[in-house]
């Protein structure tokens, strides 16, 4: 029996045992009141600490196999080493950007870590498509935070408050140097579908020739139908199509006119070149004309991201939509489709500049998740320019590393500079950030203070909340932590390996597959977890 088959049998046995493991929940460390109408009011909450329990903090003892130190002490991301292409049949003309990998930072040199919140999930969906097609994704296609935030995190819905802050942690199962993985979570308040704001939607649909590849346009049409089926009389919809030029396919109509909207969408067919700039400009002009203050005013771009006609440089297109976001609060959801001839970089940047979110749909299940299951969180924003700052206690923490968010870094001094653009959060959205932390031997107490700051999208009132996580809040063993915590850490390790992070040295996809299989047994009702276990196994079989 070969090693992989033996490991697979061990996985099954371990999974059966895991199903009986006790449940655990993350600690609530802070809450924010529901939005108020007072402009620019800053609210500081009292820190809520968990009761002390027995915990022996793991000691900091660097192992001989520890990844090499990065050059410099400024904390800038460093590009990972070059690796050979995993498979010769990968899709071509896929455009991604390498953002590097965050290094460890000594707390005596910098005890603050600041970044903009991100709720995008496109990177995970794209990587899934690669693995399902028999390829490992390019390292630069992997953004760890988008992998982690794809999954449910198990945070309690904050009762009658805007946001809840959560934290937990445990020793890392992937290193032997005493590293602890902290999970910080933000959970926004839920808005039931029947309470959501009216929707003012402008659909901007790419009908260029490349949208014929793999029936991309047909997937877009069916995805839009799922969205249209959820619309109500209080909603409004307009449709723009673009190829070499842009045109209005449907002027604004009542959301209840489902058949009129679908007739317009299903009349589209692939044409010629791609002028994304013209399509977005016309879409935003239409959105401005139908603007309603009490509604969610959003442009939804559905495209493979290719832009080969017009002023196609990123800055030209980004500048053409930034003004609408700032002046009118018209936000953008960019939805990517297609494998091969796909521009991930452009679609992500458009969503960032448009104060929105970026998703990727590779099948109807993913479309249903975006436009049916998560419709309100996809479209209704409850926080603008949201930022996180973690203040590490240098008496307890020797050094730390933010896992992911490399392209979301914010200067520490700009945390309270509300003119700095940051991230947006939709109703019910969950945001998770993981830190690898190495503690000082035998030093109990406060590990870090998590601070969150954002603007109310209606009043622009600024709110800030915080909370502490302590050594006694950590689980003594990884397996004793909440299953959703274990899932987040395992998914992050999967992403670290796929992007060839030097900090993943010493672990492998076989180890990740083992933990993923165990979690599939712990969370049998979660289809995403079941699929992840299969993906991790397939990725392991592809080579390492």
pLDDT in tens, 206-215: 999 989 988 8
Specify the higher pLDDT residue, 431 or 305.
431
Residue 148: is its pLDDT beyond 90? yes
Fold of 196-379: Rossmann fold (3.40.50)
Q: Cα(517)–Cα(532) distance, rounded to whole angstroms?
A: 9
pLDDT at 26: 85
The reported pTM is 0.85
On whether the 28-56+102-191+382-541 domain is CATH 1.10.10.10, my answer is: no
pLDDT at 75: 46
Q: In which element (H, E) is residue 437 found? A: strand 430-439
Partners of 434 in the β-ladder: 183, 403
Mean pLDDT of 446-454: 97
pLDDT tier, 535 (very low <50, low <70, confident <90, very high otherwise): very high
Residue 56: is its pLDDT beyond 70? no
Highest-confidence segment of 76-90, 250-264, 270-284: 250-264
Residue 223: is its pLDDT beyond 80? yes
**Class of residue 294 by CB neighbours under 10 A (exposed 0-12, middle 13-18, buried 19+):** exposed
* Mean pLDDT of all residues belonging to the chain: 84
Is residue 490 within 8 A of residue 67, CB to CB? The reply is no
75 sits in the region (left: phi over 0; alpha: psi -120 to 50; else beta) called left
Instruction: Pick the closest to residue 405 from 151, 150, 145 (CA basis).
Output: 145
- DSSP character at residue 372: I
pLDDT at 395: 98
pLDDT at 276: 86
Residue 421: is its pLDDT beyond 50? yes
Domains 28-56+102-191+382-541 and 196-379 share a fold: no
Is residue 133 within 8 A of residue 108, CB to CB? The reply is no
Partners of 166 in the β-ladder: 28, 185
Residue 8: is its pLDDT beyond 80? no
pLDDT tier, 462 (very low <50, low <70, confident <90, very high otherwise): very high
Instruction: List, for residues 359-388, the tens digit of each pLDDT value.
Output: 999 899 999 999 999 888 889 999 999 999
Mean pLDDT of 92-97: 83
Q: Cα(307)–Cα(300) distance, rounded to whole angstroms?
A: 16
pLDDT at 169: 98
pLDDT at 327: 87
Query: What would the DSSP string read from start to end of 299-352?
Result: EEEEE-----SSS-SHHHHHHHHHHHHHHH--EEEEEE--SSSEEHHHHHHHHH
Ranges of each domain in the chain? 28-56+102-191+382-541, 196-379
pLDDT tier, 434 (very low <50, low <70, confident <90, very high otherwise): very high
pLDDT tier, 198 (very low <50, low <70, confident <90, very high otherwise): very high
SS3 for 251?
A: strand
Q: Cα(534)–Cα(512) distance, rounded to whole angstroms?
A: 11
């Amino acid at each position: 029996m070969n090693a992989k088959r033996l490991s697979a049998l061990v996985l099954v046995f371990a999974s059966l045992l895991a199903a009986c493991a006790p449940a655990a929940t993350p600690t609530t460390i802070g809450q924010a009141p529901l939005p108020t109408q007072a402009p620019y009011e800053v609210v500081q909450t009292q820190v809520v600490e968990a009761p002390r329990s027995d915990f022996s903090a793991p000691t900091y003892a660097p192992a001989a196999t520890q990844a090499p130190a990065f050059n410099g002490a400024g904390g800038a991301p460093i590009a990972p080493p070059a690796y050979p292409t995993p498979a010769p049949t990968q899709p071509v003309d896929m455009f991604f950007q390498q953002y590097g990998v965050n290094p460890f930072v000594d707390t005596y040199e910098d005890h603050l870590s600041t970044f903009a919140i991100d709720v995008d999930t496109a990177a995970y969906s794209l990587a899934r498509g690669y693995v399902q097609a028999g390829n490992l994704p390019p390292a630069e296609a992997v953004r760890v935070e988008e992998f982690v935030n794809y999954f449910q995190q198990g945070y309690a819905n904050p009762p009658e408050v805007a946001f809840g802050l959560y934290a937990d942690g445990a020793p890392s199962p992937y290193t032997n140097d005493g590293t602890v993985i902290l999970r910080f979570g933000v959970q926004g308040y839920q808005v039931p579908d029947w309470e959501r704001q009216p929707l003012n939607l402008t659909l901007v649909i790419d009908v260029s020739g490349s949208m014929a590849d793999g029936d991309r346009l047909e997937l877009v049409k069916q995805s839009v139908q799922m969205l249209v089926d959820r619309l109500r009389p209080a909603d409004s919809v307009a449709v723009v199509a673009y190829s070499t030029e842009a045109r209005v396919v449907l002027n604004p109509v009542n959301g209840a006119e489902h058949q009129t909207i679908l007739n317009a969408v299903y009349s589209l067919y692939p044409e010629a070149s791609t002028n994304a700039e013209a399509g977005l400009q016309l879409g935003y002009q239409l959105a401005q004309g139908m603007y309603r203050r009490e509604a969610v005013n959003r442009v939804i771009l559905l495209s493979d991201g290719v832009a080969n006609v017009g002023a196609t440089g990123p800055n030209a297109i980004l500048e053409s939509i930034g003004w609408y976001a700032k002046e009118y609060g018209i936000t953008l959801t960019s939805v990517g489709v297609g494998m091969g001839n796909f521009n991930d970089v452009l679609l992500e940047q458009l969503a960032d500049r448009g104060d929105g979110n970026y998703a990727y749909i590779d099948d109807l299940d993913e479309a249903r998740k975006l436009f049916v299951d998560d419709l309100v969180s996809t479209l209704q924003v409850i926080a603008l320019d949201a930022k996180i700052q973690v203040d590490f206690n240098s008496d307890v923490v020797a050094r730390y590393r933010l896992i992911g968010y490399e392209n979301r870094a914010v200067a520490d001094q700009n945390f309270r500079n509300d003119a700095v653009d940051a991230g947006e959060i939709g109703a019910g959205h969950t945001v998770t950030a993981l830190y690898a932390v190495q503690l000082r031997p035998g030093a109990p107490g406060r590990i870090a203070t998590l601070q969150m700051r954002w603007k109310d999208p209606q009043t622009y009132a600024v709110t800030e909340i915080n909370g502490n996580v302590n050594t006694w809040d950590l689980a003594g063993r990884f397996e004793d932590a909440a299953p959703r915590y274990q899932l987040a850490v395992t998914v992050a390790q999967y992403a670290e390996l796929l992007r060839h992070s030097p900090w993943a040295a010493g672990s492998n996809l076989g180890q990740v597959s083992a933990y993923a299989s165990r979690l599939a047994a712990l969370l049998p009702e979660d289809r995403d977890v079941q699929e992840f276990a299969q993906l991790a196994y397939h990725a392991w079989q592809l080579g390492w």
